[in-house]
Structures are given as structure tokens and as C-alpha cells.
């Protein structure tokens, strides 16, 4: 009887580890397919409302960034060095530095392309967020938004930023359900 319980607990632990490993490997594979370090992104603020709301999940791609040209109107996620949270905003202006692109222009992968972004719900552009830079360069871009799943990521925001007691209660409930399942 005791051996059966121990075996059941070990099998449940094994199933949990397998599920977590599968989820992680799927995320890594998606990153490789999309050429994005972070192919899935949860929106944390309302700076892009009404089109993109807090809690929406964004799927990003960054196919061949050395050949890819961003255009006005594209929605991109960018990250400035030293910052921990990436930002999702719309490209408002693109600038191509002619001296850097003389040998590449009109190749869309010109390394001298620079971007100015702005949140749809913001009054001013993002220059104040660039930490001394006048424009973003391609190395700041995490990816281009390809599609959006509305509000699905809101649970993630609540778990991360909500009351820790709620988080512990949810995890305790999930564990209890898993233990009572068999």
C-alpha cells in the first residue's frame, strides 16, 4: 500500500517534469523558427490602446534581421540595453543613413536603418525612453508583431504582479487538484 503511494507520487512528479520540459522545449523551438529570442510577449501597459491592450499576447518574428527593413506603421518590440522590460510600440519614422548604406542601398537590409517609435496611446514619441539615443537601431529590435491573441496573457500579469497570497493559493489549488486526480 505504502509502495503504491510512493510510486504514484513519483509518477506524478515525472509527469510534471515532462510537461515543464515540453513547454520549455516548445518555446525554444518557436524562438528558433521565428529567429526571435522572445517569440511570445505579454503586453504590460496600455500605451498601445485601443488596438493592443494590457494582457494581450503578441507573437513576434525577426526573420533574417540583416535583410529585413522595418516600415512606418509596423508594430515592433524593442529593448534598450540595461532595461529589463521590452517595449511594444509602432514605428513612426524610419531613417536610412546614406553614408552607412552606400554599398547596400536599396537593399532592404541596410544596416544604417534607424527607427523612431511611439505608443498609439501616448502623446509623445519614445526618444525619452532611448537612454540618450536619437533613434533605435536594428540590434534594439526584439521582433515584429505578427499576430495578437487578446487578453490571454492577463493571468500571467496577475500571477507576476498581483498579491503573493493569490499566487500561492492558485499554486496550492493546482497541486491539490493534481494530487486528488488519481
Show the CA angle centred on residue 83, arms to residues 90 and 23, nearest 5°. Answer: 80
Both 140 and 65 in one domain: the answer is yes
Number of domains, the chain: 3
Mean pLDDT across the chain? 83
121 band by pLDDT with thresholds 50, 70 and 90: very high
Closest CA to 64 of 27, 103, 108, 105: 108
Known active-site residue 56: no
Candidates 45, 89, 123, 163; catalytic one: 89
Candidates 26, 45, 56, 126; catalytic one: 126
Candidates 47, 56, 66, 120; catalytic one: 47
Known active-site residue 89: yes
Residue 108 has pLDDT above 60, yes or no: no
Both 161 and 139 in one domain: the answer is no
Residue 38 C-alpha cell reads as 522572445
Both 30 and 46 in one domain: the answer is no
Residue 19 backbone phi and psi in degrees, to 5? -65, -45
155 band by pLDDT with thresholds 50, 70 and 90: confident
Percent of the chain scored above 70 by pLDDT? 86
Both 109 and 129 in one domain: the answer is yes
pLDDT digit string, tens, across residues 27-63: 899 989 888 888 998 998 889 999 999 989 999 988 6
Provide the residue range defining the domain that includes 5: 1-34
Both 60 and 130 in one domain: the answer is yes
Task: Tell me the C-alpha distance between 8 and 4, whole Å.
Answer: 6
Known active-site residue 126: yes
DSSP structural state of residue 48: T
Closest CA to 142 of 45, 23, 40, 24: 40
Amino acid at each position: 500500500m505504502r509502495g503504491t503511494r510512493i510510486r504514484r507520487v513519483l509518477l506524478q512528479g515525472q509527469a510534471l517534469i515532462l510537461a515543464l520540459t515540453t513547454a520549455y522545449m516548445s518555446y525554444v523551438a518557436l524562438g528558433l523558427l521565428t529567429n526571435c529570442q522572445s517569440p511570445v510577449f505579454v503586453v504590460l501597459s496600455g500605451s498601445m490602446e485601443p488596438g493592443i491592450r494590457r494582457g494581450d499576447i503578441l507573437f513576434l518574428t525577426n526573420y533574417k534581421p540583416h535583410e529585413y527593413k522595418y516600415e512606418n506603421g509596423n508594430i515592433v518590440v524593442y529593448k534598450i540595453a540595461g532595461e529589463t522590460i521590452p517595449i511594444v510600440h509602432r514605428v513612426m519614422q524610419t531613417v536610412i543613413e546614406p553614408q552607412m548604406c552606400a554599398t547596400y542601398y536599396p537593399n532592404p537590409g541596410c544596416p544604417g536603418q534607424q527607427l523612431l517609435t511611439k505608443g498609439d496611446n501616448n502623446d509623445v514619441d519614445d526618444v525619452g525612453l532611448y537612454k540618450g539615443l536619437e533613434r533605435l537601431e536594428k540590434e534594439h529590435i526584439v521582433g515584429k508583431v505578427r499576430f495578437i491573441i487578446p487578453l490571454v496573457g492577463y493571468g500571467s500579469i496577475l500571477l507576476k504582479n498581483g498579491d503573493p497570497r493569490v499566487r500561492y493559493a492558485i499554486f496550492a489549488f493546482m497541486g491539490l487538484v493534481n494530487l486528488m486526480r488519481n
